[in-house]
Amino acid sequence: MLDAIFQKLDFSGPNLGTQPLALTFILYMVIIVCTYHSINSLAILRRTKLLWVVAVTVIPVFGLFVYLFYCGYQNLKVHPILGKYVNPKHQYSYRNQVPTKAPPAPF
């Protein structure tokens, strides 16, 4: 049963020519350029940007996958609605509110 599957998985077929390889390379370069642009647009330290550029360049698939989640986390941190769940220290609690002037207590 596996022999029939392995016979269809050879790399000598018509699907592996110069056009598909060129299209794959162009598509991959577009993804890398968009990722570099995304890294440079984040408001993070220069060292952190350099770390992400190296990670995406040296270990591309894993670096892109991990950066996807990191970029989502960075964007959620500054989102006006969802940011309070990611940054609970920026929430205003009852103790941090400015006290309002209360009416005098009755005697």
Question: Which pLDDT tens digit goes with each residue over 61-87?
Answer: 888 888 888 888 887 776 666 655 555
Give 11's pLDDT tier (boundaries 50, 70, 90). low
> At residue 97, does pLDDT exceed 70?
no
Residue 5 belongs to a domain = no
Reply yes or no on whether the pLDDT at 94 is more than 70: no
pLDDT tens-digit profile of 48-60? 999 999 998 888 8
Counting Cβ atoms within 10 Å, is residue 105 exposed (0-12), middle (13-18) or buried (19+)? Answer: exposed
Per-residue pLDDT at 36: 93
**Contact call for residues 14 and 29 (beta carbons, < 8 A):** no
Question: For the chain, percent helix, then strand, then coil, each to nearest 5?
Answer: 65, 0, 35
Number of domains the chain contains = 1
The reported pLDDT for the residue numbered 46 is 92
In a domain, 80, yes or no: yes
Structural domain contains residue 76: yes
Residues composing the chain: 107
68 compared with 20, residue with greater pLDDT: 68
Q: Which domain holds residue 39?
A: 19-90
What is the model's pTM? Answer: 0.55
